[in-house]
Structure 1
Amino acid sequence: MKKIKIFLDPINDLEVWLNRMAKKGYRLKSVNNFLYDFETSDKDYVYSIQFIGASSSKEINGYIQMLKENGTRVYRSPLNQGNITFGKFRLRPYAQGNGKIANTFQTYNKEILVVEHEGKKPQKLLTNKSDLAKYYKNIRNAYLQGFIGVLALFLYSLYKLYESNFEFYKLIQSGVLVFVTIFILNIMYKAHKNYEKYKQDSELMD
């Protein structure tokens, strides 16, 4: 069974949706951008999500290889849902190593790792407080990069709106950009709160 699903916040929403599908008896077979292929299964499976867009391709490949050697199924999903451009490059100042220049042959459109486990309860992929602090910092910085771009578009749309004497369709366009800007800002705020929380916890443990 194939399903098309686009998430505004895939890092948080994808795991919930996949586990909801798993409870209905569907096991994930493949992921192709926003197209998910499922098969029916009598066994219980659960899914955990991890953002890996800030890691180098060497780190990612080593991590995935380790999981596969343990018999774990893994899938890659994009952070930017619906972007199907081939041969694209993107600068990521927050990433490590060659991850700073993401491309479709390595890490671009493959920023989210989906990990499958047998059982009924999703497993935590990260438990170390310091690792969790770094994890949420990377999520915050990833969305910060997108936020800067959307904010620039929003400011430009305001200028065009004023220049057009507030034409209706330009007003709608600005309204959509306001929603997207606030939505991304909310994700960044939550990620930053988690970063500060785990950073303080890790410092207390040191």
Structure 2
Amino acid sequence: MNKIRVFMNPIEGREKYINQIASEGYRLVKSGSILHEFEKTNSDHKYSVQYVGYMSNTERKKYSDFLKEMNFKVFTAPLNIGKFSLGNVKLRPYNSPKGMIATYPGMINKEILLIESDGNKEIPVFSDRESKNLDINRRKAPYYYLITTSVLLMVLGLFKIIDYKSIILGTFLFILASHGLYKLYSIKEK
């Protein structure tokens, strides 16, 4: 069974959605940015979704292998919708130096990790408050970067250094980033 779903909140929203489908007796076979493939199953499964875009490709592979050794099934999914990459290089200045440059093949289109376990096996992701807060802080970095970029666009547009349309784009990006940060802060409060 194929399902199409766009996530405004790609981590928590995806986790809630996939676990809901799993509770109806389905198992995830393949996950993409908006297309998810499920198969009917008699066994019970749970899923955890984690953002790993801050990791280098080597770190992500080691982490995935570690989870596989613990008998978890691991899927990757892209964070972006409609981004097909072949031979791309992407700069992520908000990441640590090891994860700052993403390439294909590598970390492009593999920013989200989906972890599958048997229904009775607990997934050891963010088992304490400190690790959950660290994850949320890592996920805030791109939003802060986007806010900085949007303010820069608006200022350059106001001083007529670049086209006035940058003010509109900057405002839109600022609203988008502010909404994302608000969502992450509300998750942290829980």
**TM-score bin (small chain):** 0.7 to 0.9
* Equivalent position of 2:13 in the other structure: 13
Contact kept, 8 Å, 2:4 with 2:35, in 1: the verdict is: yes
Q: CA deviation at 1:109?
A: 1.8
Q: Structure with the greater relative contact order (CA < 8 A, sep ≥ 6): 1 or 2?
A: 1
* Equivalent position of 2:106 in the other structure: 106
Call closer, same or farther: CA 1:30–1:161 in 2, change over 3 Å: closer
How far apart, CA to CA, are the structure 2 residues paired with 1:147 and 1:57? 27
Contact kept, 8 Å, 1:47 with 1:122, in 2: the verdict is: no
Matching of residues 103-182 of structure 1 within 5 Å:
103-119=103-119, 123=123, 125-149=125-149, 159-160=164-165, 174=168, 181-182=174-175
Q: CA deviation at 1:86?
A: 2.6
Q: CA deviation at 1:177?
A: 7.6
Contact kept, 8 Å, 2:46 with 2:117, in 1: the verdict is: yes
Amino acid at match of 2:165: K
Call closer, same or farther: CA 1:97–1:122 in 2, change over 3 Å: same
Q: After superposition, what is the alpha-carbon deviation per residue over 1:82-128, rounded to whole angstroms, capped at 9, x for unaligned? A: 22233222111232343210122111121111001111797450124
Q: 1:188 aligns with which of 156, 181, 187?
A: 181
Amino acid at match of 2:93: P
SS at match of 2:141: helix
Instruction: Provide structure 2 residue ranges, at least 5 long, that are not aligned to the other structure.
Output: 158-162
Q: CA deviation at 1:54?
A: 0.8
Q: TM-score, normalised by structure 1?
A: 0.74
Call closer, same or farther: CA 1:35–1:105 in 2, change over 3 Å: same
How far apart, CA to CA, are the structure 2 residues paired with 1:37 and 1:49? 16
* Equivalent position of 1:95 in the other structure: 95
The number of residues matched between the two structures is 185
Higher helix share: 1
Q: CA deviation at 1:149?
A: 4.8
How far apart, CA to CA, are the structure 2 residues paired with 1:154 and 1:12? 31
SS at match of 1:86: coil
Q: CA deviation at 1:153?
A: 6.4
SS at match of 2:106: coil
Contact kept, 8 Å, 1:46 with 1:119, in 2: the verdict is: yes
Q: CA RMSD in A?
A: 3.1
Instruction: Provide structure 1 residue ranges, at least 5 long, that are not aligned to the other structure.
Output: 163-173, 199-206
How far apart, CA to CA, are the structure 1 residues paired with 2:51 and 2:128? 16
Q: CA deviation at 1:159?
A: 2.0
Call closer, same or farther: CA 1:153–1:117 in 2, change over 3 Å: farther
* Equivalent position of 1:170 in the other structure: none
* Equivalent position of 2:3 in the other structure: 3
